[in-house]
Amino acid sequence: MSSTFFGLTIAASGLNTSQAQINTTANNISNVNTDGYSRQTVNTVSSSALRAYASWGTTGTGVEAVSVTQRRDLYYDEKYWNNQASLGFYTKKQYYMNQIEDYFNENNNNTGFTTVYTKMFNSMSSMQGNPGDDTIRKQFVSGAKQLTEYFNQLSTKLEELQNNINDEIKTAVDSINSVSEKIMILNKQINTIEQGGGHANELRDQRALLIDELSDIVDVKVTESEVRNNNNPDMKTGATYYTVYINGQVLVDTYERYELTVQSRETEQKHNQCDIDGLYEIIWAKDGNRFNATPSSGGGSLKAMFEVRDGNNNENMHGVVSDDSPTSITISGLSITDLNELNMPTKGSLDVNNKEYTYHDFSFKTDADGAVTEVTFYLEQTLSVSEQDGLRGKALQVGDDVDFMGIPYYQNQMNLFLRNFCQAFNNVEIGTEVYDADGNPILLKDFEKYVEGQVYNAAGVALTGEEFEKALKKMGSDLNDNRIGAFFIAQDKMDQANEHQMRGNVSNATFYSAQDINDPDKKYESYYLLTAKNVTIAKESDKNADVFATTTHGNYSSGVDSAELVVKLLPLQTKEKLFRGGGGNAFLQCIYSDVTVDTQECKIFTKNFENIGTSIKEQRMSISGVDEDDEALDLMKFQNAYNLASKCISVFQEIYDRLILNTGV
């Protein structure tokens, strides 16, 4: 049978429990605006009943507050983290694509491609009627230089953006490392508290908030499992294993974290022709293995940075290894056969048979139509016999496949347009291409050094007699009837040590040697070496507008203005197919279409994931969030319970007074 004072014990338990509930409610109200705070509740159970040797069997002993825990649902946490990764991915990508769109955008306050391109051809059209007018010639040369400077500046802006993204990648890696360290420390603190029987609610909230932060950068997955006694598997220790995965790879494993670091690509490891030096790769500091920053699934702002920085739309060179040696790899079955579409860096990396190789040079062969048939890469490494045998027949790619129209893609598109345009323009200006006995293009200003039989056409046939005279007369000449060279050339902004790569192993020399006639040492054996960054006009033409061919050699007579070459050049504005099946004037339309499609896609997905995120956040907060109205009701409810428990104690006090003081024996 229970004690005479048993009722006082029961009332005291209610008083203590209500006090704990009021304190917890006060804590919730105090943290109503605290980021990451989860609503806490007092978990109560009925105290163990006492055996009563009476008909009712047992009697209740009151209430017991067993724990104070947070209200949180892992299902909504995971939904939030997944959505946050997608939102971070498209938000960051939209941010960069808006900048690229601004670079190509034309408006009243920005002199863009169409304005400059049209201005140059308008000046050329005026020159058609009066090619000897020095003022008109200067206007044309000025317009042509402005066109090249437009591309120089645009390429520089894209390089600057690539560099900014590169710096932000390092900042993101530092953030990941900082978060992982904090999570590891919190894991230790949480387990220390919970092994002692407590609940580290506030620390768990801090850890979850760090995961929220991490999910914006990379794709995150979290697992937590209980640690059990090895000698008694049914016995829980109170500690947990807490593992954090990013992009499918372990970042934190309870008390151990794996640090990331960035490593600059060497010159020999470039992936795209116009990549800036020092682009970062992310590796694991412990073993040096590469971190997969662009998984096929998942998201995060880090993936967006890599896609915009390295995105080549999968238009890098692919092929199959057809031959190799200890120091070289040759591929055929090429994905790129147009010489002007080559986008390989002069030094770069190869991926074949799941292994990376670096090359310091390459050469290529072409067929009779000028199409590239095979490419040979000269390696930094030395291949063993077994490696050579294992490579043959394997697929090879130059650099990385990044299926997005990022900065390398737009650089390559500008290069392709300029190579086609400059080649077509120079071919009209110069006339027939002629070669020496070794198949090297003859410098036009040095043509007079050669005689009949020493000059060859593209097929390797020696030019004599009438054919020799025809070749001479087809060459463009300036106002003084001097034979001239290329008008559009590449500036001397490349590694001269690698120029020889474009001169050897070419079965048919069907490409023009873009050379500044005023400086024979500047030789650019292929339009592959001409890019948006280095395109310019010949130095002599820039200095003297008379050095521009409007007619062919021998066809200019004093007092008579001839402009048949101008007539041939004018169709390049719109009629000649120079870029993606259209005229040169369609360049900006094609590029801007690419940019706006990607930008609009980013805007749509960003908005969608923002809406989804709002919905998930509301569901999440409905469980773990602190609602001021709910807490006010709870405060009243627990206050009433406390008052009732106090009333019970007052009642028992009267009972005990009556029992002790007023009951006589």
Query: Is pLDDT of 133 > 90?
Result: no
Task: For residue range 439-483, list pLDDT tens digits in order.
Answer: 666 655 566 677 788 888 767 788 888 887 777 666 665 555 555
The encoded tokens of residue 409 equal 């893609």
- pLDDT per residue over 45-66, tens digit each? 998 888 777 666 677 889 999 9
Q: Is a pLDDT exceeding 80 seen at residue 510?
A: no
Q: List, as one string, the DSSP characters of 78-113.
A: HHHHHHHHHHHHHHHHHHHHHHHHHHH--BTTB--H
CA trace torsion 248, 251, 252, 258 (10° rounding):
150
At residue 653 the predicted structure's pLDDT band, cuts being 50, 70 and 90, is confident
First to last CA, the chain: 22
pLDDT above 70 (res 432): no
Local confidence band at 266 (pLDDT 50, 70, 90 cut-offs): confident
**HSE value, Cβ hemisphere, 13 Å, CA-based, for 279:** 24
Query: Among 201, 184, 185, which Cα is nearest to 72's?
Result: 201
pLDDT of residue 503: 32
Residue 429: the pLDDT is 78
* Least reliable range by pLDDT among 15-24, 111-120, 180-189, 306-315: 111-120
Residues in the chain: 665
Count other Cβ atoms within 10 Å, centred on residue 491: 18
pLDDT at 518: 41
CB–CB of 561/132 below 8 Å?
yes
Taking the C-alpha atoms of residue 546 and residue 523, their distance in angstroms, rounded to an integer, is: 23
Number of H helices, E strands in the chain: 13, 22
Beta bridge partners of 67: 43
Q: How many Å apart are CA 276 and CA 313, to the nearest integer?
A: 18
Amino acid identity for residue 407 in this structure? I
Q: Could you tell me how far CA 279 lies from the centroid of its own chain? A: 11
Average pLDDT of span 521-535: 70
Tell me which residue of 545, 598, 657 sits closest to 127, measured CA to CA.
545
Confidence band for 110, pLDDT divided at 50, 70 and 90:
low
pLDDT value of position 339? 82
| Position with higher pLDDT, 91 vs 234 | 91
Positive or negative CA dihedral for 86, 91, 96, 100? positive
Give pLDDT tens digits for 148-183. 999 999 999 999 999 999 999 999 999 999 999 999
Phi and psi based region of residue 62 (left: phi greater than 0; alpha: psi -120 to 50; beta: remaining): left
Distance CA 624, CA 409 (A): 46
Decide: 303 and 293 in contact? Cβ < 8 Å.
Answer: yes
* Residue percentage of the chain with pLDDT more than 90: 50
DSSP conformation letters of 382-432: ---HHHHHHHTT-EEEES----SB-HHHHHHHHHHHHHHHHHHHHHHHH-S
361-395 core/surface letters (b: 16 or more CB in 10 A; e: else): bbbbbbeeeeebebbbbebeeebeeeeeebbeeee
Q: What is the pLDDT of residues 398-410, one digit of tens each?
A: 998 899 999 999 9
Rounded to the nearest 5 degrees, what angle is found at the Cα of 183, between the Cα atoms of 177 and 188? 130
β-strand 488-490 against 249-253: which pairing, if any?
A: unpaired
Q: pLDDT tens digits for 186-205?
A: 999 999 999 988 899 999 99
Q: Determine the residue type at 628.
A: E
**Rounded Cα distance, 136 and 242, in Å:** 75
Are 348 and 359 spatial neighbours (Cβ–Cβ below 8 Å)?
Answer: yes
Band the pLDDT of 512: cuts 50, 70, 90.
Answer: very low
254 in Cβ contact with 383 (< 8 Å): no
- Region 5-30 average pLDDT: 91
Tokens of 522: 């500047």
Residues contacting 516, CB < 8 A, separation 6+ = 485, 486, 489, 522, 538, 539, 540
Structure tokens at 207: 């850890």
Domains of the chain are 6-71+644-661 (no CATH), 317-399+503-511 (2.40.10)
pLDDT at 272 over 80: yes
Q: Model confidence over 196-230: pLDDT tens digits?
A: 888 999 999 999 999 999 999 999 999 999 998 87
Residue tagged 């991490």 (tokens): 214
* Identity at 417, one-letter amino acid code: F
Strand ranges across the sheet with 256-257: 220-228, 236-246, 249-253, 256-257
Q: Are 396 and 320 in contact (CB under 8 A)?
A: yes
